[in-house]
Structure 1
């Protein structure tokens, strides 16, 4: 399975979660964190898919995907430990 097969769905989940958090609670940190990381993952997935069609490896896209995913997973894992709520930090931690 290729990296962009996971990057697109995960990016959409983060983007949607950031937008929902902003619309429901007015949280700009949710918008910047969720939507920003989701957009970065979608961009990296697009770069990776384009490289796949050319028959090349794109290590830059893979590095972006890895760093963003690790950062979101660490932040949400810490948030889950403090709040002990499954939604959204526990779910995002499990997906990451």
Structure 2
């Protein structure tokens, strides 16, 4: 599957998760974090920003750590465990891409 398509699906997953968190619990931080990170990932991918691999790897790495800690402390799989796993997978993919092509979009 194309790397850009995976990044766009990940962006949609983040944005939808934030919207669902807001709809279910009225959590404004969930809405802002989910839609904000999803928008950054999605826009950097859609507009082919040269630093897109770096942007996505920083966001996915940070979300892997943050949501992994929330899952470890709370024990609920959804949403923190699901976001941690998806973010970790995207982070690994971005790390492999960066190791092959460098920090900017060339591949």
Aligned length: 87
TM-aligned CA deviation for residue 47 of structure 1: 2.5
> Where in structure 2 are the equivalents of 1:73-84 lying within 5 Å?
73-84=64-75
Report if the CA contact (8 A) 1:3-1:45 is conserved.
no
- Report the equivalent of 2:52: 61
Q: What TM-score, normalized by structure 1, do the two folds share?
A: 0.83
> Where in structure 2 are the equivalents of 1:30-69 lying within 5 Å?
30-48=30-48, 58=50, 60-69=51-60
Considering Cα pairs closer than 8 Å and 6+ residues apart, tell me whether 1 or 2 has the greater RCO. Answer: 2
Q: Structure 2 regions of 5+ residues with no counterpart?
A: 88-107
**Root mean square deviation, CA, Å:** 1.4
Moved over 2 A (4+): none
